[in-house]
Structure 1
Amino acid sequence: MNERRFDPSKMAKLDNPDRRKALPPEKLLSELNIREDQTVLDLGAGTGYFTIPAAKLTQGTVYALDVEPQMLSVLKERVEQEGLQNVHYVNGVIEEIPLADEIADYVIASFVLHEVEPLSKGLQEIYRTLKPGGKCFCLEWEKKQMEQGPPLNHRIHSSDMEESMKQQGFKVISRSFPTDQHYLLIVEK
């Protein structure tokens, strides 16, 4: 296992009341204006923190990609409990997304790009899978010392992430700070 990858034994941390209060997924996703016929790719979908709300916003396909079959299994149970029919499960890594070119209107990369090695390869794959004019939603830990989140040396500063996105051809639409620990970049292909 890549030392940067999230340990699935800690999956309860992914969906807890404190996290939902600080980072409400429905509110954050409203930044994208997902329409009912659009396709979404959720990278590092985990237990469905963003997958499920996205699947409720569109009748289009929501691809939930995760490297951990255990996470996809939990996600599948949650999706079935919600009665959603539009989620497709993809086992794979961000550095080699096993999907066609220009398949998604939106890509969600929530707390996952700091795990990608090299980051440039992951961003190239996001760019490849986005349709022209498609947008990527990148939510990450700011690179500063705090109790929660990945080690400081794994984090990517918001300015560095923005620069990396630009180098891959993305246009930065917005950069915001939903909390003092996190940043949200919206970029467009």
Structure 2
Amino acid sequence: MHERRFNPDNLERLDNPERRRTIPPEQVLKLLPIEGSDVILDVGAGTGYFTIPAAQMTGGTVYALDVEPRMLELLRNRVEEQGLSNIESKEGPLEAIPMPDGSVDHVIASIVLHEAEPYTQGLAEIGRVLKKGGHLLCLEWEHKVTESGPPPSHRIPSEQMEESLKEAGFELVSRQDPSDALYLMIARKI
């Protein structure tokens, strides 16, 4: 595990009441135009914070990608407990997503792009697997000192992220700041 990757020993940080108040997954996912049998990829899926509610919003497959096998095992257990049949877990890095070109309608990248080395490679991979017109939900740490989260040197300033999205072939659809420490962008692949 390199220094930017989330330590799975800190799993309680991924799903707790404070996070659910700040970033309610069901409400956040409504920002994506999910419909019918859309295929969704949750990169850095962790224990399924966004994966599980996304699977309840589509009849299509939701792929849960994570580099950490322990996270995927926990996610599989949660999926089984909830009786969901449209989630498929995939182990692999964001910098080399093990999926074919143009295979998904939406990508969720929640607090994970700052872990990619470089994050622009992560954006390129997201662009590769997204269908033209597909959407990216990008939630990231703002570049500042906060009580929690990675050090500022690992964070991506929101202005830089906007520019990188454009360079990667996306157009910004909307932007929100769910807290002083986080920004949320919806971008469409053009």
Task: Specify the SS of the correspondent of 2:169.
Answer: coil
Matching residue of 1:44: 44
1:68 partnered with 2:68? yes
The alpha-carbon deviation at position 178 of structure 1 amounts to: 1.3
1:119 partnered with 2:119? yes
The alpha-carbon deviation at position 176 of structure 1 amounts to: 1.1
Matching residue of 1:177: 177
Matching residue of 1:156: 156
1:22 partnered with 2:60? no
Task: Specify the SS of the correspondent of 1:42.
Answer: strand
Query: After superposition, what is the alpha-carbon deviation per residue over 1:79-133, rounded to whole angstroms, capped at 9, x for unaligned?
Result: 1111100000100001000001111100000000000111121111000000010
Equivalent residue pairs, number: 189
Matching residue of 1:82: 82
How far apart, in 1, do the equivalents of 2:83 and 2:99 lie?
25
Structure 2: unaligned runs, 5 residues or longer: none
TM-score normalised to structure 1 length = 0.98
Task: Specify the SS of the correspondent of 1:100.
Answer: coil
Task: Specify the SS of the correspondent of 2:135.
Answer: strand
What letter matches 2:186 in structure 1?
I
How far apart, in 1, do the equivalents of 2:33 and 2:186 lie?
12
Structure 1: unaligned runs, 5 residues or longer: none
TM-score normalised to structure 2 length = 0.98
Q: Percent identity?
A: 56
Task: Specify the SS of the correspondent of 2:137.
Answer: strand
How far apart, in 2, do the equivalents of 1:25 and 1:36 lie?
19
The alpha-carbon deviation at position 33 of structure 1 amounts to: 2.6
What letter matches 1:131 in structure 2?
K
Matching residue of 1:7: 7
Query: After superposition, what is the alpha-carbon deviation per residue over 1:149-176, rounded to whole angstroms, capped at 9, x for unaligned?
Result: 1111000011111111111111111111
Matching residue of 1:54: 54
Task: Specify the SS of the correspondent of 1:176.
Answer: strand
Matching residue of 2:108: 108
Query: After superposition, what is the alpha-carbon deviation per residue over 1:34-69, rounded to whole angstroms, capped at 9, x for unaligned?
Result: 113100000000000000000000010000000000
How far apart, in 2, do the equivalents of 1:83 and 1:92 lie?
24
How far apart, in 2, do the equivalents of 1:144 and 1:36 lie?
39
